[in-house]
Amino acid sequence: MTVESKRKPVGRPASSARNGGGHSQSLVRGLNILEGLAAAPGGLGLSDIAQIVGLAPSTTHRLLQALHRQGYIMQDTELGLWKIGVKTFQVGNTFLEARDFVATARPYLRQLTQDSGETANLAIRDDGMAVFLAQSESPQMMRMITRLGSRAPLHASGVGKALLAWLPEREVERILQSRGLSRVTENTLDTPARLRESLATIRHQGYACDRQEHAIGLNCVAASLHDQDGLPLAAISVSGPVARIPEARLIELGGLVSRAAREISEQLGGHVPQP
């Protein structure tokens, strides 16, 4: 079994760009195209991309050709679909290299997979969502796989709740007001009272549990990495099928994940604050 977090291709409408010169608008539209393609790993056709940027197909095609010439996108000539190119990956990978915690966490993710037999992930918070940046896949045939760069709601994921638990209350409130508490599965914590009770438990025990709250059939345990001020920098997790991660195993994995998170935080000069 594989599970992949997905979202519909969404780009900012071209009309949202500030009034400015044609070059400025073209840049915004080109970035919107890249965002849309990044959210659709299987590729998109011309008409879909034109809808994302809100332009005529002919104008959209000129933008696509410009991005293609620079190596940022490529086209599947058989299907006619446009996809992210190598140069876009190279630019994005520079971000990962610049974030020391990603490189520091990678050996810990591999060790977590070795110790637990399950997939280990690292995610950060961006625009009120959890974004997955690194992964160590389980060797099991049935395993949890999340596409790097995919997003998950903070309130409905292990890594997301681990991050929320250590944020200042005003920031939590801002996220709840802007994002709401959409119900992803029947187990999602979809009221502020239930979520805040869960966040208090996370601070007390040092790790978060996702009990089929993001995907039915999957359980997850996560813990936050902290910076020098004790604020959440990122979160790591171990996820797998309920058959291999039943309720009784959550405590065991919680200990593994929280210890790894604490060691990574210490290497980065951070510390876990007192609850």
Q: What does the pLDDT read at residue 127?
A: 86
- The answer to whether residue 20 scores a pLDDT higher than 60 is no
Q: What does the pLDDT read at residue 176?
A: 92
| Phi-psi region at 116: left, alpha or beta (left = phi > 0; alpha = psi -120 to 50) | alpha
- DSSP letters, 19-42, are S--HHHHHHHHHHHHHHHHHT-TT
- The answer to whether residue 97 scores a pLDDT higher than 70 is no
Q: How confident is the model at residue 55 (pLDDT cuts 50, 70, 90)?
A: confident
Q: How confident is the model at residue 89 (pLDDT cuts 50, 70, 90)?
A: confident
Q: What does the pLDDT read at residue 149?
A: 84
Q: What does the pLDDT read at residue 18?
A: 44
Are the C-beta atoms of 184 and 153 separated by less than 8 Å?
A: yes
Mean pLDDT of 99-121: 92
In tens, the pLDDT along 205-227 reads: 999 999 999 999 999 999 999 98
In this prediction the pTM is 0.68
In tens, the pLDDT along 152-206 reads: 999 999 999 999 999 999 999 999 999 999 999 999 999 999 999 999 999 999 9
- The answer to whether residue 100 scores a pLDDT higher than 90 is no
DSSP type of residue 267: H
- The answer to whether residue 87 scores a pLDDT higher than 70 is yes
List the domains of the chain with CATH numbers: 14-91 (1.10.10.10), 99-267 (3.30.450.40)
Q: How far apart are the first and last CA of the chain?
A: 37
- The answer to whether residue 9 scores a pLDDT higher than 70 is no
List all residues 6 or more positions away from 85 whose beta carbon is below 8 Å from its beta carbon.
67, 68, 71, 72, 73, 74
Mean pLDDT of 76-97: 77
